[in-house]
Amino acid sequence: MRNYELLSIIKPNIDSEEFDKLSSKIEETITSLEGKVTSTDKIGRKKLSYDIQDYRDGYFVVHNFEMEPNQVEKFRRQLRLNENILRIMFLETSEVKA
C-alpha cells in the first residue's frame, strides 16, 4: 500500500451537514476500495485564487489515506462523478527509500 493525500474543494452552496456527509462518503469510498483513512482535516471555507465554475470560494478538506496503486484510478473516477466537488488534487506521500 502507498500513502496518498487528497485535497478536495467542495461547492460553497451546500450546508455544513451536507459537507460532513460528502466528507464521510469520500472516506467510505476509500475503505470500499480496500484503503485505510489515516486522517481527515476539514479546513473549512476559503476564498479561491480564481473562479471555478463561477464560484469564488469553496470548502476545503484534506484526506490522508493508504491505498493500493491499482485502485487509485477507480477512486479518481468516482470523485469526478460527484457534482459537488469542484476540484481534487492527489499527492503520493510515500517516502522514497534510498
52-75 per-position pLDDT tens digit: 999 999 999 999 999 998 999 999
Helices of type H across the chain: 16-32, 72-80
The answer to whether 30 touches 75, Cβ cutoff 8 Å, is: yes
29 pLDDT band, cuts 50/70/90, is: very high
Cα 69 from Cα 51, distance rounded (Å): 32
Q: What pLDDT score was predicted for residue 96?
A: 56
CA–CA distances in Å: residue 6 to residues 21, 39, 54: 17, 11, 23
pTM of the model: 0.86
- Topology, domain 2-87: Alpha-Beta Plaits (3.30.70)
The answer to whether 24 touches 81, Cβ cutoff 8 Å, is: no
